[in-house]
Amino acid sequence: MGANFGAGFPSWSGGRLEAGSGFVSNAFDLYAPNHDRAGASFGAQVGYDWQIGRWVYGVETDFNFLGVRHSANGLFPAPASYSPLGVTGYGLTTDESGNYFATFRGRLGFAVDRSLFYVTGGVAAGGWRGASSLTFSNPAPGSLFYAPLSQSSRMKYAVGAGFEYALYDQWSARLEYLYLNQQLQTQVFDNGLSVQFGARQRSEAHLLRFGLNYRLAAEDGAGARSDKDQSDDKKSDEASNGKDAERYSVHGQTTGVVQGYPKFPALYSGPKSFTPKGQARFGSTTNLFAGVRLWDGAGVYINPEISEGYGLSNSAGAAAYVNSSVAKVGRAAPYMRFQRYFLRQIIGLNGGAKESDPDTGSFNETLESTQNQLAGKVDRDRLILTVGKFAVGDVFDDNVYAHDPTTGFLNFAFNTMGAFDYAADAWGYTYGAALEWKQDWWTARAGLFQLSDVPNSEKIEPVLGRQFMGVAEFEARYDLFEQPGVVKFLVYGDNGYLNKVDEVVDFAFLTGNFPPDITNNALRKRRVKLGGGVNVQQQIAPNLGFFLRASMADGRYETVDYTDVDRQLSFGLVASGKLWGRSKDEIGAAMAFSGLSGPRVRYFALGGASVYIGDGALSYSGEKALEAYYKYNLAEGIDLTLDYQFFGNPAHNAARGPVNVFGLRAHAQF
């Protein structure tokens, strides 16, 4: 881990506003000067290296300020073509641009004594252009144009090379060049009267920067860890401390899923339906899980993620959606986001009595026992405080047999309570705090989390406490016929500006505007949506387990941030391959039954659409889902899974289906 500083030099980005709809000629194009210029760059990085002989390879992620993007604010003369309109000039007002960049890169180098020469490349983020206003000197109606934040559909990336030198055992310095391409940024200026301008600006820069790194373990050569170093360090730690407490951890995973279904019968389709003609889609996610121990019991964690591809029907078509391992926000090109960054503090309560507690989150999966967790001994009775950006499901509604779609069930219904309308952005993460109190046979949990700024938004509510979710969970551990089991009781409340479904339907009848629109902001008021459920995990015999979730929510209100379910029952079995001599294989099968409240049935019957469903009409019957999978271990850390899902009444609609979904998942981890 370390810090860097240097300078960035932008490539020419362009400053042209192209006349679009409403204009007859490009003679009406506008030109504004390009204000991008060289500027400072500084930031921080964290990574992990391996070494084989003289070759060093690794991964690295960083976050940096880059002061090269500058807004084109001011007054400018208009082209002569505007003179007949009485327009002599125009003004531009632009908000701050995204003067930062983040990367998730691989690194390959060759070590010579204490020196390392390397190349690097990977996915980048940032570089957007700020929202802008365009005003003409003639104050006639339609002379004010507005453009939101810029968008880019292409992959942002960074490539470069560098030289690193080991100054001392754990300190090294580097000189690095990066070419940063944050792609063509597009904005559309619109005056609300079908007249538009289009602006396209490149966000590219060359960077030269110096860096200083601190290695969290003894180094070999230019800084990579050899197997012997790691073994010696572990023995030294155990001898001196009497325990194996990790100072840092770096883990990763990549999951790719291809799913498809053949044609199926459907009397009609809507904006959020599975297309009845059949379809196949691929999507993937790649994550780095990095953690560092700050002091006794405390660790800080960061998780960059690269996503690519789409879910079936662009992540719509069923309330118990078919794939929770692929981001709902689909894009053809890979894109990167920092999905988690949080602090976790463990406070012991029983005077130092220690026990091993890997806090495993998924049946027989090494990844779940290590990601976002520093190994070590902890008090049996303890408090755990987690603060930052993370997923509500990281703490609540866990189940050892069904919770991780990268290794187990793919369907929503089997990884989370269907009626648990938890706070999240469109990717499933939010800002919040959670406190856990673990005792001998029970655990109590409570948390507060920010809702999205409007339901099902990509943005989290920016004002702390303005819109939030409160959640509490009580867990009891027991033995039943000498087999361990866990039962959890969960309650939650979403406190925010929500639509009441009946009011949306009444408004449609009053105005004659159909179908009713649940996204109508004018009808939203501060309301509290309540819900809860029970979660059971029970070992039947060694290597064979049963799970069950039952949940219900107040169906008078719209879906806030999860899916379109007001009540659900799901249950299933999971068996380890140890039963048939393949210890790392796994097989699972489960069923789920979901339903809607009366107000929501009326809303969808009138053609309304929501987060995941909307067929244009509704012949209501509760949605039924079945899933079965077999996970085959190819090698250490590499699995291939065959998956099958059956849907009866998809989207709670008896007029469509059944649908048979076939899937293949490839998963690798370290």
Shared domain for 587 and 491, answered yes or no, is yes
In a domain, 189, yes or no: yes
Q: What is the pTM of this model?
A: 0.85
**pLDDT for 169:** 84
Res. 518: pLDDT tops 90: yes
Pairing of the two strands 567-576 and 638-648 = unpaired
CATH number at residue 340: 2.40.160.180
Percent of the chain with pLDDT over 90: 66
Clarify whether residues 176 and 260 are in a common domain. no
For 579, phi then psi, to 5°, come to -70, -25
For residues 537-568, one letter each, b for 16 or more C-beta atoms within 10 angstroms of the residue's C-beta and e for the rest, the string is bbbeeebebbbbbbbbbbbbbbbbbbbbbbbb
Decide: 202 and 180 in contact? Cβ < 8 Å.
Answer: no
**Better pLDDT: 330 or 434:** 434
Residue 282, in any domain of the structure: no
Bond from prior residue into 658 cis (ω within 30 degrees of 0):
yes
Query: Do 204 and 322 belong to one domain?
Result: no
Asked if 464 and 529 sit in the same domain, the reply is: yes
pLDDT, position 18? 78
**Cα-Cα-Cα-Cα dihedral sign, residues 262, 263, 266, 270:** positive
What value does the mean pLDDT take over residues 447-472? 95
Q: Are residues 347 and 487 in the same domain?
A: yes
Based on the domain organization, do 208 and 297 belong to the same domain? no
Report the helix count and the strand count for the chain, using DSSP H and E.
4, 32
CA angle at residue 545 from 542 to 548, to 5 degrees?
160
> Looking at the 3D structure of the chain, how many domains does it have?
2
Contacts of 493 (CB under 8 A, 6+ apart): 469, 470, 471, 528, 529, 530, 531
Q: Write the DSSP string, 270-286.
A: -TBS--TT-EEEEEEEE
- Is 280 contained in some domain? no
CB neighbourhood size of 499 (10 A): 25
Q: List, in sequence order, every beta strand (DSSP E) within 217-367.
A: 248-261, 279-295, 298-309, 331-348, 354-356
256 within 8 A of 286, measured Cβ to Cβ = no
H helix or E strand, kind and range, residue 401:
none
Task: Compute the Cα dihedral for 615, 618, 620, 621 and give only its sign.
Answer: negative
In 3-state terms, what secondary structure has residue 188?
A: strand
Cβ count near 616 (within 10 Å): 17
Q: How far apart are CA 338 and CA 61, in angstroms?
A: 10
Q: Tell whether 283 is covered by a domain.
A: no
Determine, yes or no, domain membership for 649.
yes
Instruction: Pick the range with the lowest mean pLDDT from 141-150, 227-236, 315-324, 589-598.
Output: 227-236
Q: Is the bond preceding 515 in cis, omega lying within 30 degrees of 0?
A: yes
Residue 234: inside a domain = no
Across 31-35, 616-620, 645-649, least confident range: 31-35
Q: pLDDT tens digits for 387-409? A: 999 999 999 999 999 999 999 99
- Is 619 a member of any domain? yes
Task: Please give the residue range of the domain that contains residue 166.
Answer: 2-214
Residue with the larger pLDDT of the pair 461 and 90: 461
pLDDT reading at 535 higher than 90: yes
User: 529 and 397 in one domain?
Assistant: yes
Shared domain check, 623 and 560? yes
- In this structure, are residues 443 and 427 in contact, taking their beta carbons and an 8 Å threshold? no
> Which stretches does DSSP call E strand in 95-245?
100-112, 115-126, 132-136, 144-147, 157-166, 171-190, 196-214
547, 614: one domain? yes
**CATH number of residue 152's parent domain:** 2.40.160
Distance CA 370, CA 407 (A): 14
pLDDT digits (tens, 9 = 90+) for 58-74: 999 999 998 887 777 78
Res 352 pLDDT > 70: no
Work out the end-to-end distance of the chain between its first and last CA atoms, rounded to an integer number of angstroms.
19
What is the mean pLDDT of the segment spanning 623-645? 97
Nearest to 431 by CA among 448, 406, 455: 448
pLDDT tens digits, one per residue of 267-289:
999 999 999 999 999 999 999 99
User: Does residue 324 sit in the same domain as residue 445?
Assistant: yes
User: Greater confidence, 462 or 126?
Assistant: 462
Q: What is the pLDDT of residues 234-253, one digit of tens each?
A: 433 433 333 456 788 889 99
Residues 47 and 122 in one domain: yes
Q: Are 129 and 94 in contact (CB under 8 A)?
A: yes
What span, in angstroms and rounded, lies between the C-alpha atoms of 413 and 403?
Answer: 10
The strand ranges marked E within 554-637 are 567-576, 586-595, 623-635
Structure confidence by residue, pLDDT tens digits, 151-181? 777 888 999 999 999 998 889 999 999 999 8
Residue 663 maps to a domain = yes
Separation CA 500–CA 491 (nearest Å): 21
* pLDDT at res. 14: 63
- Average pLDDT of the chain is 88
Kindly list the distances between the CA atom of residue 459 and the CA atoms of 290, 423, 427, 450, 451, in Å, as whole numbers in the listed order: 24, 11, 10, 10, 9
Q: Which residues pair with 281 in a beta bridge?
A: 259
Do 331 and 435 share a structural domain? yes
